[in-house]
Amino acid sequence: MTDRHPATGRSPLRALSLFATTACMAAAVLPAHAAESLTLYTTREPGLIQPLLSAFTATTKIEVNTVFVKDGLLERVKAEGARSPADVLMTVDAGNLLDLVEGGVTQPVKSAALESAIPANLRGADGQWFALSMRARVLYAEKSLKLGNFRYEDLADPKWKGKVCIRAGQHPYNTALIASLIAHDGEAKTEQWLRGVKANLARKATGGDRDVARDILGGICDIGLANSYYVGQMKSSKAGTDARKWGDAIQVIRPTFANAKSGGTHVNISGASVAKNAPQRANAVKLIEFLVSDSAQSLYAQANYEYPVRKGVALDPIIGQAIGELKIDPLPLTEIVKYRKQASALVDKVGFDQ
């Protein structure tokens, strides 16, 4: 699955200007052919990742040969086998990243820089994968509602009957959340929750995350789930008139889980692994280490409205004001994603998307 660079988001030119600020010390013109290079296979949209790669090359003089793979990343690397030129594999969604690990196309990395920058629950214990940025699954709500603390489980409360909007349950953003609920509450309670949310839907589970805000503005629903970075896209000065109206119509709440003792909001990630047969392994590790550096994490925040994985990195002001600092669910992503197939089966079992 790829993430999108919607017309309402920041333009690549804006992102590149941010890069110029970050990498000003290395702004000299690069030679036509860098002395060193690596090959990146990624499902991330070019406009989102290119500013970070340009910053890496400017800083290290290591050229990144980027192959954008829309679908079938695992199958491609498997088919290439030992002759694969891939050094780094980068994707969105923890499940997609763990599929690469389970598919046997990654290798472990031991790096003090990565271990110190990335919390333990956002990387593989054996160094097979690393989160690079986060997106929170938050609640969009009509601005006049007085909600206080909101739990994901509350979406099934009958008081919200006919008032909930959400995209398809089978979308990876939602199956990841459902997998989290299984991990926290068990499969039986999660099935009951899904049935309750379905009963509360104001419309069919479909569309995109920004459509939740659009439909709240239109009076179709009062609340719904969506990813945090869409708030930045809708509220950006670069956003279209309609999108800004959607963003202005909502308040954003950081839900928690009823069963989580320490609280915390569900997050999904973008992340990377070093390919099993990486020809340029050392350079691959350098790229991933760079992507969790202060400067690169600032780019993730400012260019893409994502949450940094590295502590102490400032959020984009729009996200900081609309959502604020994030306390993430401490449950390890590896514990969550192992339930993703059960989550998908539950969506079909209750007919959530029908």
Q: Specify the amino acid at residue 350.
A: V
Assign 294 to helix, strand or coil: helix
* pLDDT of amino acid 238: 86
Q: Do the annotations mark residue 229 as ligand-binding?
A: yes
* Residue 230 annotated as part of some ligand binding site: yes
Q: Look-up: residue for tokens 């333009």?
A: 11
Dump pLDDT digits (tens) for 10-22. Answer: 444 444 444 444 4
Which helix (DSSP H) or strand (DSSP E) does residue 56 occupy? helix 46-60
Six-digit token string for 7: 């017309």
CA 202 to chain centroid, in Å, comes to 26
Q: Which domains does the chain have, with CATH numbers?
A: 12-134+267-316 (3.40.190.10), 135-264+324-349 (3.40.190.10)
Separation of alpha carbons 48 and 58, rounded Å = 17
In angstroms, what is the C-alpha Rg of the chain?
20
The C-alpha atoms of residue 207 and residue 40 are separated, in whole angstroms, by 31
The kind and range of the H/E element at 269 are strand 267-275
What pLDDT is stored for residue 9 in this prediction?
43
pLDDT of residue 250: 97
Question: In this structure, are residues 119 and 235 in contact, taking their beta carbons and an 8 Å threshold?
Answer: no
Beta carbons within 8 Å of 127's beta carbon, 6+ residues apart: 108, 109, 110, 111, 114
> Whole-angstrom Cα distance, residue 88 to residue 279?
10
At residue 12, the pLDDT reads 43
CA-nearest of 126, 130, 93 to 285 is 130
pLDDT at residue 3, as a whole number: 55
Q: What's residue 35's pLDDT?
A: 67
pLDDT < 50 stretches in the chain: 1-2, 4-34
The predicted structure's pLDDT at residue 8: 41
* Residue that is written with structure tokens 């036509």 in the block: 32
Cα–Cα distance measured from residue 243 to residue 132, given in angstroms and rounded to the nearest whole number: 27
* 70: number of Cβ within 10 Å: 9
pTM recorded for the entire structure = 0.86
pLDDT of amino acid 47: 78
